Amino acid sequence: MVCENYSSLKNGEDLLSLLLEIGFRHLNREDHWLELGPTHTEHHQVLAKIIFESGDSEAIADLLYAWTSRSNSHESYASLKICMQYLVGLHHLYPFSPRLHYLIAHTIVIIGYQEFKQVGVEVFFKLVDDLQAHVEESDKIEWTSLLLDIIQSTEGIQHLSLPHWELLVVIIVSYGQWLEGSTYSPQTMISLKEAEEWDKLECWIGVVWMLWPREGETAERDLRNTTLALFHQRPGAVQKLEQWMEQWADEWRRIPESFQQICKQAHDGAAQQAGL
């Protein structure tokens, strides 16, 4: 009702913000029993425009909370897609409050990277860079799923900055068991090697060994050869990957024997080179 009539109401925009605050400011986002599902209408576009253009970070957080509380509903997803063009333009509010930070990140995960490509790759990655510095512990699993989707895309290899690749390794060392069903694309490893993106390849090789140690003669040979090529270009990567794998391994996981053989081969080669 307010959306339909706000232009004829005194202080209609303030009233919209107030309604959102009353409805969503103090709800607990960890409450999984919460049942909210606003029906998507053409007035959502009006509501999003008013709230985002107000520049009120708490009102924006209220709106995102309202539309992400039932993220599995078609109506909420349709409403969230309206927010894409506004989210990539929020740089003037950075650094975000912890609440808004979480809700922006959560919204991006729900919508997915492929949808955000519609509003521009470069502005999307600028937003991701803003968010990366403060990924909360409780958000790391879903954020990692997003990073895996981005990295295994043509744009991700080019535009995703190195700190995201390093963050991915750090998270998978601790939470890899929750991501073992993730999709794997061999093209990422090939593209990084061809582009000589050795720092990113170092991170990605670690991710592959932890999440998807390749099975089958061809796949294992490709991973082995690429790992050896990395070690040849970056001798220091041997020790770094060994440390990652040792941190990742625990009583439930074992470092693949093929990985240990590759590292031994690299160490032996380095020792022979030093002897010469």
- pLDDT by 10s per residue, the chain, length 276: 666 666 676 667 677 766 766 565 555 555 545 555 555 566 678 788 888 988 989 989 988 888 887 545 555 677 788 899 999 999 889 889 988 988 998 899 889 999 999 899 999 999 998 887 666 655 778 888 889 999 999 899 889 999 999 999 998 998 887 887 788 888 999 999 999 999 999 999 999 999 987 666 666 888 999 999 999 999 999 999 999 999 999 867 889 888 999 999 999 988 887 765
Reduced to 3 states (helix: H, G, I; strand: E, B; else coil), residue 145 is helix
DSSP count for the chain of H helices, then E strands: 17, 0
Which pTM does this prediction carry? 0.80
Token couple for 126 = 């600028």
Q: Which of 204, 211, 114 is nearest to 155 (CA)?
A: 114
Residues with Cβ within 8 Å of 194's Cβ and at least 6 positions away in sequence, in order, are none
Degrees, nearest 5: CA angle 186-187-192: 110
Q: Which of 151, 148, 216, 222 is nearest to 180 (CA)?
A: 148
